[in-house]
Amino acid sequence: MSDENEEGLLAGIIVLDMSQFLAGPMAALRLGDLGARVIKVERPDGGDLCRRLYLSDTEIGGDSTLFHAINRGKESFAVNMKDEADLQELRTLIAKADVIIQNFRPGVIERLGLDYASVAAINPRIVYGSITGYGPDNEWRHFPGQDLLAQARSGVMWLNGEADDGPVPFGLAVADMLAGNLLVQAILAGLVRRGVTGRGVHVETSLLEAMVDFQFEVLTTHLNDGGRLPQKSAVRNAHAYLAAPYGVYRCADGWLALAMMPLSKLAPLLDLPALADYTPDEAFLRRDEIKSLIASRLQQKTVQEWLDILEPADIWAAEVLDWPKLLQTSAFRQLDMLQTVTRGDGVSVQTTASPIRVNGARHKSGLAAPTIGSQSDRIRTEFIG
């Protein structure tokens, strides 16, 4: 195993995670997965609000499972932003950092004197990453930068569900996750550029920009299609712009996903000769009718019975797995994407590992999310004195 696998590609890079909730901490998590040292800067009185953002009634060692999932491997440095002595310590730490991530509401970071211009005066080599809800200077800038609200304003909800469902949100915090990933890309590019010029840079994105970018394919269609709105299928809809059979169907014992394919190829396999009579245009214009035929037929066999017919014919089909089924598959276990991480007080959490492999190996640190300020003294000794 090479040094890159043992230490990570970003070994030696110090990231100050001054963000909270999901989008910013997710970006810091990914940089940590790549080997950076991530120091979470949080309030001494309660820390990151995400510590109390419960997805269920489960807590581990006093913190939510969500906090554990998105802050594993980090150190915690407690700072009271309203105390000038604490702020001065933070500025000393900033002078020795490589990356800062912050997701304060527009205007707050300036009042703290920790905006990019102020930080760059302390450390001109800093790569400074910002995430907001809707951008730093438009008329929505003061709205709460929350995932569901960003989904609502982005138009994306009208792509989900079926024709009569109305807007349907994603069952995940997609705006936060996508914005975090975009910021990681920008920060990595900023670090590369700094290696060339020696100068830092301010990179930024927002939940809204991430959601608009997420829709670039279908939004481009809308912009160049006379402004027509997408029409969702009323039967087994999975994509507003794709023809039958694209969708998810109930079988005798579970659910089967069918992707795009010629109906003429599917017809003999499903013993539905009528499918071959539909033209490619009709596959979209009459998709509800076609998908109703397919849905009735697929209910007559089990998922595995259909896969035994469809897979040898190179039909794009897959069983719809829930988490227990996924975790039991050999394919998932072979990925080795789970790990148990442990905190200094002995609290252990089973969670996911980095989704990135370097030279064939997945970097795992084994460190759980920190308690508030648990590394403050060590960080002061190391960086502040």
Q: Domain spans of the chain?
A: 3-214+335-384, 247-328
pLDDT for 333-354, tens place per residue?
Answer: 999 999 999 999 999 999 999 9
For the chain, the C-alpha Rg in angstroms (whole number) is 25
CATH code: domain 247-328 is 3.30.1540.10
CB 365 within 8 Å of CB 32 = yes
| DSSP one-letter code for 143 | S
Does position 139 have pLDDT exceeding 70, yes or no?
Answer: yes
Cα separation, 357 vs 8, whole angstroms:
10
Does position 3 have pLDDT exceeding 60, yes or no?
Answer: no
| DSSP one-letter code for 273 | G
CB-neighbour burial class of residue 15 (10 A; exposed 0-12, middle 13-18, buried 19+): buried
Cα separation, 301 vs 307, whole angstroms:
10
Q: Is the dihedral of CA 230, 232, 237, 242 positive or negative?
A: negative
Q: At what angle do helices 147-154 and 174-197 cross, to 10 degrees?
A: 90
CB 78 within 8 Å of CB 378 = no
- Sort strands 255-258 and 37-42 into parallel, antiparallel or unpaired: unpaired
Collect all residues with Cβ–Cβ distance below 8 Å to 197 and sequence separation of at least 6. Answer: none
CATH H-level, domain 3-214+335-384: superfamily: Crotonobetainyl-coa:carnitine coa-transferase; domain 1 (3.40.50.10540)
The catalytic site residues sit at 176
Q: At what angle do helices 263-270 and 287-298 cross, to 10 degrees?
A: 30
Share of the chain above pLDDT 70, in %: 98
φ and ψ at residue 251, rounded to 5 degrees = -110, -175
Read off the pLDDT of each residue in 49-60 and give the average, rounded to a whole number: 85
Whole-prediction pTM: 0.93
For residue 144, whether the previous peptide bond is cis, meaning omega lies within 30 degrees of 0, is no
* Buried b / exposed e along 286-323 (16+ C-beta atoms within 10 A): ebeebbebbbebbeebebeebbeebeeeebebebebee
- pLDDT reported for residue 1: 36
Q: Which residue, chain included where needed, has tokens 């035929």? A: 293
Q: Which long-range contacts (CB under 8 A, 24 or more apart) does 265-273 make?
A: 265/313, 265/315, 266/294, 266/315, 269/309, 269/310, 269/313, 269/315, 270/294, 270/297, 270/298, 271/297, 272/297
Question: Mean of the per-residue pLDDT values for the chain?
Answer: 95
- pLDDT reported for residue 6: 60
- pLDDT reported for residue 120: 98
φ and ψ at residue 354, rounded to 5 degrees = -55, 135
Length of the chain: 385
Cα separation, 156 vs 170, whole angstroms:
9
Does position 211 have pLDDT exceeding 70, yes or no?
Answer: yes
- pLDDT reported for residue 54: 77
- pLDDT reported for residue 59: 84
Say whether 79 sits in a helix, a strand or coil: coil
Cα separation, 214 vs 151, whole angstroms:
11
Read off the pLDDT of each residue in 237-248 and give the average, rounded to a whole number: 95
- pLDDT reported for residue 2: 43
